[in-house]
Amino acid sequence: MGLFRKLKEKWERWYYGDFAEEEEEWDGETLEEDRPAASRGERYFSDADTRTVFVLEALGQMRESAEKAELYRDEYDAVTSLITDMEGIDELSPDIRGEIAEQAGHIDKLEKERRQVYYSADRLEESRFQHLERYEDAIPDAIRKMREAEEYRRLIKIDLRRMEAEKASCRYQLREAVLTVSNSRGVAIICAVAMLFAIALLAVMQYFYRLDVSWGYLLICGAGAIALTVLFVRYQEASREIKKLEKLRDKIISLHNTVKIRYVNNTNLLSYLYMKYDVESSEELEDDWAGYMEEVNARQKDEKLREDLEYYYNKLTATLRSCGVTDPEIWTRQAKALVDHSEMLELRHALIARRGKLREHLEYNRQVAERSKQKIKDLAMAYPQYAKEIAGIVERYEGTLQDE
């Protein structure tokens, strides 16, 4: 069976050529590689519209990656700044560190008293409440972003399924067209051999048996001419269909890759938001946020505790600012970490994990931009006669971005 399978694979490679492809299952992040510009042939890029579309699609992918990278870079800088402040606090002298711990201890104590007084609804665990408290200013906007991203992911999945179906249909049609070309060529060879054999047979009958076979010659030549004409027309039509389907397939692959980039960026955004807020959906975050707001509203009844907390917030902020901390206000929401070393370590690990995730997203978008840029360079190097035109397309595109 193994020998038979190998012989079958060799036959398909010889018979169908480059179109004997195997279906590949998309893994969710890797892009389907476009054929190198040089391998498509000058015939493919002889059309100016095809060259323009090819370059603009690569530039669009570069722009998409640059926009996403800018968003991730801002968040990366903020997380890095917080880690730097944490390291600076650890390096302070013991007396200053003790003063900070004392002020943070007052804040932590007052916050615990507020929770005891106002904890009227047992909807959230203490650790969950503290986690939401750190991001209370950002959560409403985060819920909106999650909803939009989840809806966008749903729409992208619909587009991906539709493009998968179009790609499968195009591959099937292309295979059928190649089969038609191959079959037409094979049948034409068979007809030609049959004609020659029949003519040779008539010649033998004419010269050896002295028979009048003129009608036979006419019949064979006429039938052969009709058959070869039909086969030639089918061959030409199938060849034109192959050219058209090749362009359509490459266009679908390019569009598919663009949508995959958007899907990966969308998935990365949702993954990061889920990790940051420790949820699995926007509905879960919305429910937690509603519970959190109920508890906060209850705790607002005690103005005395709030005033005391405000006093120590300002005092801790001033102390940290005098020590060179970049963003001292954020530590008023994480005072426990300034008192409890294990809490500080846990917070550090969480921030490092977030920064690592952001670095992966930045690297992914950098690689996508590099690949898209290289595609344009490869096209210009493979076909130097179009290099000036390609450079003009890039300049016009960049000018359009500046006008925006």
pLDDT of residue 32: 47
Q: Which two tokens stand for residue 246?
A: 């090749």
Cα 166 from Cα 97, distance rounded (Å): 64
Q: What does the DSSP 8-state code read for residue 19?
A: G
The structure tokens listed for 225 are 């001419």
pLDDT value of residue 28: 45
Alpha helices in 91-213 (DSSP H): 94-118, 126-134, 139-209
Residue 394 CA to its chain's centroid (Å) = 23
Please answer whether residues 43 and 342 qualify as being in contact, where contact means their C-beta atoms are separated by less than 8 angstroms.
Answer: no
> How many whole angstroms separate alpha carbon 163 and alpha carbon 326?
49
Q: Are 326 and 81 in contact (CB under 8 A)?
A: yes
> pLDDT tens-digit profile of 6-26?
544 544 444 444 444 444 444
The 10s digit of each residue's pLDDT in 76-125 is 888 888 888 888 888 888 888 888 888 888 888 888 887 776 665 556 67
Taking the C-alpha atoms of residue 111 and residue 105, their distance in angstroms, rounded to an integer, is: 10
Q: What is the reported pTM?
A: 0.49
Can you list the residues of the chain whose pLDDT is less than 50?
Answer: 1, 3-4, 7-8, 10-30, 32-33
Q: What are phi and psi of 27, to 5 degrees?
A: -90, 0
Backbone angles phi, psi at 36, to 5 degrees: -55, 145
Alpha-helical (H) ranges within 323-340 are 335-339
**Dihedral (C-alpha) 197, 198, 199, 204: value to the nearest 10 degrees?**
90
pLDDT for 16 equals 42
**Do residues 238 and 180 make contact, with C-beta atoms less than 8 angstroms apart?**
yes
d(CA 135, CA 78): 14
Distance CA 391, CA 59 (A): 12
Measuring CA to CA, how many Å separate 359 from each of 67, 347, 362, 364, 395? 15, 18, 5, 9, 30
User: Alpha-carbon distance 106 to 317, whole Å?
Assistant: 13
